């Protein structure tokens, strides 16, 4: 049970709607992966006033994570602290009354915990991980917001940072419909993640993508913009500092044929 909401504490975001803070506080958010992107997301969700979290990650912080993991410290590296514990500390430091469930395991082993979420953020590495997580959330009719970035070095050119934010809405275009997941990408899964080294990540692009993903989630919960009615595919060009609707979304079908609604598992809707 969350504590009563002090509306004055959220006066600067009252434009979200008269009952927005109640909806935000009641929403259960799942975050799969608490590295660079996931750590940004939990921090922003806590500031906004989300009060119910399910966090999935079994890894401990390493020194190489300090270039991007929000809330992590050198002492955490020395103590080999789990990323989910760092995230919980960050959330509770902002919202002491929050309910934070931490699962030191891969999300695949905890399907019931995923099922209990209203929205899931996918901050996982690799195409196969994305495919599995999307399939699970689609089964339970849960919107998933996926973020990811990579760094490429085209021959003779400077490194290029690219990223995406995708909202996969049940019934609407999925990541396969959008062309993000395809057999070619899945076949290359074992190859290097990028030409700039294993899992190249930088804090500023992670921050951009996480901020957009959190904005999408807030719009889903409050409907403040009254424009979000289907799937979202936004592309980030880090070298240019731009974010735009990916043109391939225009060619995606309005109704998903890969995850028909008739094949969804049992769903129990609850009011926020």
pTM over 0.75: yes
- What is the DSSP track for the chain? -PPPP-GGGGGGGGGG-TTHHHHHHH-EEEEE--SHHHHHHHHHHHHHT--EEEEE--PBP-GGGGGT-TT--HHHHHHT-BHHHHHHHHHHHH-TT-EEEEE-S-GGG-HHHHHT-SEEEE--SSHHHHHHHHHHHHHTT--EEEEEEEEE--TTS--EEEEEEEEE-TTS--TTTTTSS-HHHHHTTTS-S-TTSSS---HHHHHHHHHHHHHHHHHHHH--SS---S-EEEEEETTTTEEEE-GGGGGS-SS-SSS-GGG---------
- Band (pLDDT 50/70/90 cuts) for residue 152 is confident
Rg value, the chain, Cα: 18
Calculate mean pLDDT across residues 44-54: 98
Q: Which of 84, 115, 86, 118 is nearest to 101 (CA)?
A: 84
pLDDT digit string (tens) for 86-106?
999 999 999 999 999 999 999
Is a pLDDT exceeding 50 seen at residue 243? Answer: yes
Residue 193 above 60 pLDDT?
A: no
106 vs 189 pLDDT, higher one = 106
Q: In the structure, what pLDDT confidence band is assigned to residue 266 with cuts at 50, 70 and 90?
A: low
User: Quick count: other Cβ atoms within 10 Å of Cβ 131?
Assistant: 18
Residue (of 53, 54, 78) closest to 66 by Cα position: 78
Pick the CATH number of 18-257 from 3.30.70.2190, 1.10.1740.10, 3.40.50.2000, 3.40.50.720: 3.40.50.720
Neighbours of 242 (CB within 10 A): 10
Q: Would you say 131 and 195 are in contact if contact means Cβ atoms under 8 Å apart?
A: no
Task: Determine the average pLDDT of the residues in 34-57.
Answer: 97
- Compare 190 and 165 and report the one with higher pLDDT: 165
Angle at 172 between CA 170 and CA 176, to 5 degrees: 95
Q: Residue 216 pLDDT > 60, yes or no? A: yes
Q: What is the pLDDT of residues 17-34, one digit of tens each?
A: 999 999 999 999 999 999
Q: How sure is the predictor about 195, in pLDDT bands with cuts at 50, 70 and 90?
A: very low
**12 class by beta-carbon count within 10 Å (0-12 exposed, 13-18 middle, 19+ buried):** exposed
Number of Cβ within 10 Å of residue 14's Cβ equals 12
pLDDT (0 to 100) of residue 189: 55
Domain ranges of the chain: 18-257
């Amino acid at each position: 049970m969350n504590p009563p909401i002090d509306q004055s504490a959220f006066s600067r975001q009252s434009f979200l709607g008269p009952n927005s803070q109640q909806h935000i506080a009641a929403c259960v958010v799942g975050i799969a992966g608490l590295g660079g992107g996931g750590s940004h997301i939990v921090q922003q969700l806590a500031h906004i006033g989300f009060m119910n979290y399910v966090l999935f990650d079994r890894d401990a912080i390493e020194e190489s994570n300090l270039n991007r993991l929000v809330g992590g410290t050198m002492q955490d590296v020395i103590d080999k602290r789990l990323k989910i514990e760092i995230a919980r500390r960050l959330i509770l430091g902002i919202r002491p009354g929050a309910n934070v469930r931490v699962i030191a395991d891969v999300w695949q082993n905890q399907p019931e915990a995923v099922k209990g979420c209203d929205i899931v953020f996918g901050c996982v590495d690799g195409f196969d991980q994305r495919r599995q997580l999307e399939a699970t959330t689609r089964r339970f009719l849960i919107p998933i917001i996926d973020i990811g970035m990579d760094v490429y070095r085209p021959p003779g050119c400077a490194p290029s940072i690219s990223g995406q934010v995708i909202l996969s809405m049940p019934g609407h275009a999925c990541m396969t419909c959008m062309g993000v997941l395809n057999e070619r990408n899945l076949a290359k899964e074992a190859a290097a993640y990028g030409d700039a080294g294993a899992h190249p990540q930088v804090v500023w692009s992670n921050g951009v993508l996480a901020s957009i993903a959190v904005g999408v989630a807030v719009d889903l919960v409050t409907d403040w913009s009254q424009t979000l009615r289907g799937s979202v595919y936004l592309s980030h060009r880090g070298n240019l500092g731009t974010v735009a609707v990916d043109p391939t979304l225009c060619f995606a079908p309005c109704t998903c044929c890969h995850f028909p609604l008739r094949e969804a598992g049992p769903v129990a809707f609850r009011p926020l």
